[in-house]
């Protein structure tokens, strides 16, 4: 009886259930075997439908798998030679933006289709919506074009820049792949950026004592030191950036890796891009950081990386006080490695007759002369005019330009010697047969006196390098004034302020009153803080809201030398709109204040169009400081 | 990240309300909403079961049925077992919870426990677990989605019980008495929720 | 009841949707288009047919205690099979039914009939009952779907029946329209009932709920 009960009450139910489950699973597995291949075939047919949509003339596709071009998922050749279909993707706002591009056999784009993506609804999603006019317009603007395309070649959807640019990058990746598989050109492979964790894994490390403020410190088997720090970037970031720097024994930066997970996709994560980080390589000491440019539009994130590297350098110097980095100043020319980040005197060169003839064709005699104009590498007097090689700081280093001037000082010819700028960008200048470089050079011909960036055909996408060219040309023109007209040579640094944007508040204060010991004093009315130097200098602080929707005001610090002239202005514009309002903290803008002695001097200060509220706010604050200084502190 | 979670949460409550927009959980909705007390108790039970079910079924799907390796490739595909595994897990889970509740938390069992069996075979719970997988949410997002669905259910129930109270005094045509007029009232309630389309995106920006 | 009666029972007399008020969720959700209603109905009928037979065959084997989980397992198996078949052969239907295809497993009709009929009757009878109920379900779905589609989009099974120049009553295809149509349809049925004296007590409380026997509420829902 009992047995029965246990069987009835307990075992039987369980057994029955288990048997049912087994039978059920078997039935399901069987059906799955039957239907799975059919389902798969359907999914492929659906995918193929997309390919046929862009290249209807094809009667079938043959997949090519042997390619190395980055960011390409599939490369298909039409079996009847109607063309090629390549599926690629670009990094967008929320993830990948996939596209399918149809090429004819020569590489002209026949059709572009944007596939489903996870971009923002109403923004990047417009791309994939066949009913959306903007998305269609962008897709159509690719048709008929060939080769690598720029943002200006297609109809970027206004307000959807990041996703549109991602689509553009995707199409360019498809173009690269086409060039590789159809035309047999070399593949363009994007270097995979390692994250700090990945980089650490690849090294043989021994842990050493972690200096204060850092998150990790190691020595490698090669004798290099690796330091890690967390660095705050974008004010609304979800996590700080992870900065990892490798130093050699002297303190030169060998390598840098940055993790940007908490920054804004498509914007702040440029702080982890190869282009930005390459500037840090070879930097020696804090002074070397002066040559590193932040990226406009990603200012907070890139400045954050710079601050993190500065912390690492300081820690390194503290660990090894005798290293070269401790005593390094902005290096002079001649040191090949540190020249990449130098700002001061450039190395002189000798111009060959050939070089001169290239820019001044009808000259026959050449005689080298001396010039004291800073930035000039060589000056040659010719029978029909002058040939001057000058250089200015570009993205990754000096950008040299050889300018041929006629006897009246008008530009006759321009050539670009080799530089260290980024391949595909500023490096195009010295690329043989490069159309853009030729256009830039041609646009300079005929100019004289002083050239503005708006007067010439800058290379789109290589703005910094182009601006460097213009600066170098202006240097050459100033040199002409010196050697041909006998005017006084222009010295460097006039009107240019040191970039204090990467400095902390205390560092900036010290920079504004160099050499003085500062003590805090009662702030005059209207100001938020005031410091007095023992030499009679002052640093006064004021606040201004700047942009009307900024969450909090900007802090502005104005330094006055003992004579009452402004030594410089430091601004904390972190509350302003990144990429727009934070130009109010930029060296270009703030440099205008240096040397001003009274309110009248402010009339000459220009605000920045597009960042009006922020820059005007700084001006108002400086005015307050000047007024306060004049009212009570001027001795 | 937080914005995305908030967007999912509010979308589930307003724009994609499980009862009035997705039509899941109609039976309890129409059946239990007559009295405010039972409506509230039922919805609490629903929130609880939905969240618990999601917490259990999500790992099962992603680690047992269709696990992916580091590169995103499927290690093995048992996706076709999803329906049967999910419903059984939910049934067993609810049964277990009810037993535990009965033994250890009698007052809670009195309030919620009676509704638990009703929810087991309810479209809403199975629906939310399947939809989480379909939408490709990660674990946290799935939990937030389930919570949102549950609260949306509660919102609809509570609002509707108020509507039904008013209906009690109404005098519809004879053939509409009872269920039909309730359905028409539900139609009006659903209409009001229809106005939420586009609200969440524009408040929270990107999802 | 003889065999024919068993079959026709589910069509009108005990129509699962309009009389027994079972399976309301899919009724409201998939009837935006007549085709979807038809598809869902056929899928549910298939499951109902198979599960009724299976459960009837097993009715003496399954212990009472584990009745519900056993039924659910059997039903779920058939639902999964239907899912796979639909995905493979009619993918368009899979897309339009969406989550409601797997949700057939918790469709009260199927569980309810398993509990109320198949567990107590012979396989042949259960099969007929399943067919009849399923057909009744399908017919109702197609009816509702047609109404909503014709009024809401001007088409019927995809063919335009109302000239495009006449504005559509798009309210019908919204969720609110679903509730409305269902309510009016039911009112119509009740009206007919009153006229023919064939009244049926309706409630969506415990009566229609398949978990009636295991529920602890004991009438505490309404």
Task: Tell me which residue in C73, C84, C89 faces A24 most closely, judged by beta carbons.
Answer: C73
Q: What is the pLDDT of residue A122?
A: 61
Q: Exposed, middle or buried by CB within 10 Å (0-12, 13-18, 19+), for A212?
A: exposed
Low-confidence winner among A2-11, A30-39, A440-449, B178-187 (lowest mean pLDDT): A2-11
Write out pLDDT tens, residues B12-64. 888 778 888 888 888 778 777 778 888 888 888 889 889 999 999 999 888 88
Q: How far apart are CA A543 and CA A553, in angstroms?
A: 6
Q: Please state the φ and ψ torsions of residue A499, each to the nearest 5 degrees.
A: -75, 105
pLDDT of residue C216: 44
CB contact under 8 A, B113 and C211: no
C138, C38 Cβ separation under 8 angstroms: yes
User: pLDDT tens digits for A289-324?
Assistant: 887 888 777 788 888 888 888 888 888 888 888 787
Strands (E), A49-185: 61-64, 72-78, 84-91, 96-103, 109-114
Q: Rounded to an integer, what distance in angstroms lies between the CA atom of residue B116 and that of residue B95?
A: 8
Domain range holding A385? 345-483
Q: What is the pLDDT of residue A339?
A: 38
Task: Convert the pLDDT of each residue in B142-170 to its tens digit.
Answer: 999 999 999 999 999 899 888 888 888 88
User: Residue B115's closest chain C neighbor by CA?
Assistant: C217
Res. A343: pLDDT tops 50 = no
CA distance B40 to chain C (A): 12
Contact assessment for residue C23 and residue C147, using Cβ atoms and an 8 Å cutoff: no
Q: Which B-chain residues 84-103 have CB contacts (< 8 A) with chain A? A: 84
Return the exposure string of C129-148: e unless at least 16 CB atoms fall within 10 Å of the residue's CB, then b: bbbbbbbbbbbbbbbbbbbb
Which residue has 């998939």 as its token pair?
A: C30
Q: For C2-21, how does the pLDDT look when each residue is reduced to its tens digit (9 = 90+)?
A: 778 878 887 878 888 888 88
Q: Which residues of A touch C76 (CB under 8 A)?
A: 24
Asked, for residue A252, whether it belongs to a domain, the answer is: yes
C169: tokens are 């009553």
Q: Which of C44, C144, C176 to mutate to test the interface with B (most CBs of B within 10 A)?
A: C176
Looking up tokens 């402010």 gives A602
pLDDT of residue A173: 86
Assigned token pair, A493: 């640094």
Q: Which of A624, A495, A632 lies closest to A557 in space, CA to CA?
A: A624
Cβ-based neighbours of A349, under 8 Å, separated by 6 or more: A377, A378, A389, A400
| Residue among A61, A108, A106 at smallest CA distance from A85 | A61
Residues paired with residue A96 on neighbouring β-strands, in sequence order: A91
At residue C46, the pLDDT reads 92
3-state SS track over B52-81 = HHHHHHHHHHHHHHCCECCCCCECCCCHHH
CB contact under 8 A, C87 and A35: yes
Task: Decide which of A415 and A604 is more confident.
Answer: A415
Q: How would you class A491 by CB atoms within 10 Å of its CB: exposed for 0-12, middle for 13-18, buried for 19 or more?
A: exposed
For residues A420 and A491, the answer to whether their CB atoms sit within 8 Å is no
Which pLDDT band holds residue C157 (cuts at 50, 70, 90)?
confident
Residue C89 pLDDT exceeds 90: no
Question: The tokens of A41 are what?
Answer: 């075939």
- The pLDDT tens digits for A183-223 are 777 766 666 667 788 888 888 888 888 888 888 888 888 88
Tell whether A376 and A435 lie within a shared domain: yes
SS3 A527: coil
Q: Considering only alpha carbons, which residue of chain A is nearest residue C59?
A: A16
Confidence of residue C218 (pLDDT cuts 50, 70, 90): very low
- In a shared domain, residues A225 and A263: yes
Residue A518: inside a domain: yes
Q: Is A187 a member of any domain?
A: no
Q: Which partners does chain C have (≥3 C-beta pairs < 8 Å)?
A: A, B
Residue A410: inside a domain, yes or no?
yes
Mean pLDDT of C107-134: 86
Pair C185, C168: CB distance under 8 Å: no
Across chain C, which distance is largest between two alpha carbons, in Å? 62
Strand order in the sheet with A205-207: A205-207, A216-220, A225-231, A241-247, A253-259
The mean of the pLDDT values for chain A is 80
Residues in C closer than 8 angstroms to A16, CB to CB, are: 61-63, 66, 70
Strand-pairing partners, residue A74, are: A87
Tell me the ipTM for this assembly: 0.79
Contact criterion met (CB below 8 Å) for A276 and A196: no
Is B1–A32 a contact, with Cβ atoms under 8 angstroms apart? no
Encode pLDDT of A143-167 as tens digits: 888 888 887 788 877 777 777 888 8
CA angle in degrees (0–180, nearest 5) for A539-A611-A557:
5
Q: Is residue A412 part of a domain?
A: yes
How confident is the model at residue B72, as a pLDDT? Answer: 62
The half-sphere exposure of B151 on its side-chain side, counting CA atoms within 13 A, is 14
Cα–Cα distance, A63 to C211 (Å, whole number): 55
Residue A10 DSSP code? I
Judged against a pLDDT cut of 90, whether residue C208 lies above it is answered with no
Instruction: Say if A55 falls within a structural domain.
Output: no
Nearest CA in chain C to A38: C88
Cβ–Cβ gap A120/B206 under 8 Å: yes
Report the run of H or E that residue A95 belongs to, with start and end.
Answer: none
Q: Mean pLDDT for chain B?
A: 82
Least confident of A180-189, A376-385, A431-440, B183-192: A180-189
Same domain flag for A373 and A406: yes
How close B79 comes to chain A (CA, Å)? 10
Residues in C 106-135 with any Cβ partner in B closer than 8 A: 106, 108, 111
Residue A138 confidence (pLDDT) above 50: yes
Q: Are A621 and A526 found together in one domain?
A: yes
Q: What is the pLDDT of residue A494?
A: 40
Confidence of residue A493 (pLDDT cuts 50, 70, 90): very low
Distance from the Cα of residue A372 to its chain's centroid: 33
> Which residues lie below 8 Å from residue B57, measured CB to CB, with a gap of 6+?
B85, B86, B89, B90, B129, B132, B133
The answer to whether C13 touches C70, Cβ cutoff 8 Å, is no
β-bridge mates for residue A78, sequence order: A61
Q: How many domains does chain A have?
A: 5
Tell me, what's the pLDDT at B198?
Answer: 65
Question: Residue B201 has what pLDDT?
Answer: 61
Verify that A244 and A316 share a domain, yes or no: yes
Q: Which of A28, A32, A94 sits opposite B206 (nearest CB)?
A: A94
Q: How many CB atoms lie within 10 A of CB C168?
A: 15
Looking up residue A229, the CATH number of its domain turns out to be 3.90.1010
pLDDT digits (tens, 9 = 90+) for A109-119: 888 888 776 66
Number of residues in chain A: 635
| Residue A421 domain flag | yes
Shared domain check, A322 and A205: yes
Please choose, from the candidates B184, B193, B172, B171, the residue with its C-alpha nearest in 3D space to the C-alpha of residue B18. Answer: B193
Report the C-alpha dihedral over residues C48, C49, C51, C55, rounded to 10 degrees. 120
Do A88 and A44 fall into the same domain?
Answer: no
CA atoms within 13 A on the CB side of C169: 12
Among A32, A33, A40, A93, the residue to mutate for chain B (most B Cβ within 10 A): A32
Q: Distance between CA atoms of A217 and A213, rounded to whole angstroms? A: 11
Q: Is residue A309 part of a domain?
A: yes
Min Cα distance A165 → chain B (Å) is 18
Query: Among C65, C73, C80, whose Cβ lies nearest the Cβ of A21?
Result: C73
Query: In the structure encoding, which two tokens stand for residue A132, read together?
Result: 């959306």
Looking at residue A329, its pLDDT comes to 57
Would you tell me which residues 26-85 of chain B have a C-beta closer than 8 angstroms to some C-beta of chain A? 80-81, 84
How far apart CA C136 and CA C11 sit, in angstroms, is 4
Angle at B172 (CA atoms; ends B166, B176), nearest 5 degrees: 110
The label of the residue with tokens 């938020």 reads A528
């Amino acid at each position: 009886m009992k047995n029965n009960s246990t069987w009835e009450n307990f075992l039987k139910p369980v057994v029955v259930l288990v048997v049912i489950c087994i039978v059920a699973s078997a039935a399901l597995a069987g059906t799955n075997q039957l239907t799975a291949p059919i389902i798969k075939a359907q999914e492929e047919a659906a995918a193929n439908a997309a390919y046929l949509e862009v290249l209807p003339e094809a009667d079938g596709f043959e997949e090519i798998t042997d390619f190395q071009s980055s960011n390409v998922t599939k490369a298909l050749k039409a079996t009847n030679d109607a063309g090629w279909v390549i599926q690629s993707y670009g990094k967008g706002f929320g993830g990948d933006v996939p596209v399918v591009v149809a090429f004819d056999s020569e590489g002209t784009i026949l059709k572009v289709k944007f596939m489903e993506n996870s971009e923002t609804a109403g923004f990047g999603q417009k791309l994939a919506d066949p009913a959306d006019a903007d998305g269609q317009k962008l897709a159509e603007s690719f048709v008929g074009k060939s080769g690598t395309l720029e943002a200006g070649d297609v109809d970027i959807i206004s307000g959807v820049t990041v996703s549109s640019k991602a689509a553009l990058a995707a199409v360019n990746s498809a173009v690269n792949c086409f060039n590789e598989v159809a035309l047999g050109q070399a593949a363009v492979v994007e270097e995979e950026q390692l994250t700090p964790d990945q980089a650490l894994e690849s090294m043989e490390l021994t842990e050493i004592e972690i200096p204060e403020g850092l998150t990790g410190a190691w020595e490698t088997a090669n004798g290099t030191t690796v330091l890690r720090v967390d660095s705050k970037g974008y004010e609304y970031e979800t996590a700080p950036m992870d900065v990892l720097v490798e130093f050699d024994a002297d303190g030169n930066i060998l390598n840098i890796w940055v993790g940007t997970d908490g920054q804004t996709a498509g914007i702040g994560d440029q702080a982890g891009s190869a282009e930005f980080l390459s500037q840090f390589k070879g930097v020696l000491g804090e002074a070397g950081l002066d040559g590193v440019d932040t990226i406009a539009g990603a200012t907070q994130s890139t400045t954050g990386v710079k601050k993190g590297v500065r912390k690492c350098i300081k820690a390194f110097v503290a660990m090894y006080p005798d290293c070269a980095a401790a005593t390094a100043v902005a290096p002079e020319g001649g040191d090949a490695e540190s020249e990449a980040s130098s700002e001061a005197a450039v190395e002189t060169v000798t111009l060959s007759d050939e070089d001169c003839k290239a820019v001044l064709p009808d000259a026959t005699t050449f005689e080298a002369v001396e010039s004291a104009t800073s930035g000039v590498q060589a000056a040659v007097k010719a029978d029909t005019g002058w040939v001057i090689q000058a250089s200015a700081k570009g993205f990754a280093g000096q950008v040299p330009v050889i300018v041929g001037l006629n006897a009246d000082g008008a530009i006759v010819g321009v050539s670009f010697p080799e530089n260290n700028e980024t391949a595909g960008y500023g490096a195009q200048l010295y690329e043989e047969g490069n159309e853009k470089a030729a256009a830039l050079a041609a646009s300079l011909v005929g100019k004289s006196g002083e050239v503005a960036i708006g007067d010439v055909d800058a290379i789109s996408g290589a703005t910094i390098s182009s601006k460097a060219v213009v600066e170098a040309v202006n240097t050459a023109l100033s040199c002409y004034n010196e050697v041909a007209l006998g005017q006084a040579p222009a010295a460097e640094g006039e009107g240019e302020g040191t970039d204090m944007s990467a400095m902390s508040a205390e560092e900036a204060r010290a920079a504004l009153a160099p050499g003085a010991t500062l003590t805090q004093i009662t702030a005059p009315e209207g100001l938020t803080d005031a410091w007095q130097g023992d030499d009679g200098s002052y640093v006064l602080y004021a606040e201004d809201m700047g942009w009307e929707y900024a969450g909090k005001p900007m802090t502005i610090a104005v330094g006055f030398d003992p004579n009452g002239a402004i030594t410089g202005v430091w601004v904390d514009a972190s509350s302003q709109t990144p990429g727009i309002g934070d130009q109010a903290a930029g060296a270009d803008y703030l440099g205008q204040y240096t040397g001003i002695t009274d309110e009248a001097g402010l009339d000459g200060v220009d605000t920045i169009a597009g960042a009006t509220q922020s820059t005007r706010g700084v001006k108002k604050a400086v005015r307050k400081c000047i007024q306060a200084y004049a009212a009570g502190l001027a001795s | 990240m937080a914005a995305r979670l908030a967007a999912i949460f509010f979308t589930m409550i307003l724009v994609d309300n499980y009862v009035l927009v997705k039509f899941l959980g109609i039976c309890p909705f129409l059946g239990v909403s007559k009295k405010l007390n039972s409506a509230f108790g039922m919805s609490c039970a629903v929130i609880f079961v939905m969240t618990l079910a999601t917490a259990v079924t999500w790992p099962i799907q992603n680690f047992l049925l269709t696990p992916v390796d580091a590169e995103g490739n499927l290690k093995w595909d048992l996706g076709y077992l999803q329906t049967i595994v999910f419903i059984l897990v939910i049934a067993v889970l609810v049964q277990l919870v009810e037993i535990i509740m009965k033994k250890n938390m009698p007052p809670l069992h009195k309030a919620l426990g009676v509704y638990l069996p009703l929810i087991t075979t309810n479209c809403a719970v199975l629906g939310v677990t399947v939809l989480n997988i379909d939408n490709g949410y990660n674990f946290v997002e799935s939990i937030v989605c389930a919570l949102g669905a549950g609260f949306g259910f509660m919102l609809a129930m509570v609002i509707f019980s108020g509507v039904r109270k008013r209906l009690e005094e109404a005098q519809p045509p004879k053939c509409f008495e009872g269920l039909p007029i309730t359905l028409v009232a539900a139609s009006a309630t659903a209409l009001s929720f229809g106005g939420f389309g586009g609200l969440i995106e524009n408040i929270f920006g990107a999802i | 009841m003889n065999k024919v009666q068993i079959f026709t029972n589910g069509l009108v007399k005990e129509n699962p949707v309009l009389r027994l008020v079972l399976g309301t969720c899919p009724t409201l959700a998939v009837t935006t288009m007549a085709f979807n209603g038809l598809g869902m109905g056929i899928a549910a009928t298939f499951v109902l047919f198979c599960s009724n037979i299976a459960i009837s065959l097993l009715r003496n084997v399954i212990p009472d205690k584990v009745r519900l989980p056993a039924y659910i397992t059997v039903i779920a198996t058939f639902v999964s099979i239907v899912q796979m078949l639909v995905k493979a052969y009619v993918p368009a239907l899979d897309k339009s039914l969406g989550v409601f295809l797997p949700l057939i497993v918790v469709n009260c009709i199927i569980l309810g009939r398993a509990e109320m009929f198949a567990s107590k009757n012979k396989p042949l009878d259960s099969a007929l009952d399943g067919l009849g109920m399923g057909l009744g379900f399908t017919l109702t779905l197609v009816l509702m779907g047609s109404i909503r589609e014709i009024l809401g989009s001007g088409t019927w099974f995809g063919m335009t029946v109302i000239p495009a120049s006449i504005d559509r009553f798009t309210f019908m295809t919204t969720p609110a329209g679903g509730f409305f149509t269902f309510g009016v349809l039911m009112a119509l049925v009740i009206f007919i009932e009153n006229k023919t004296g064939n009244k049926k007590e309706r409630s969506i409380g415990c009566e229609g709920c398949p978990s009636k026997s295991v529920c602890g509420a004991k009438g505490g829902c309404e």
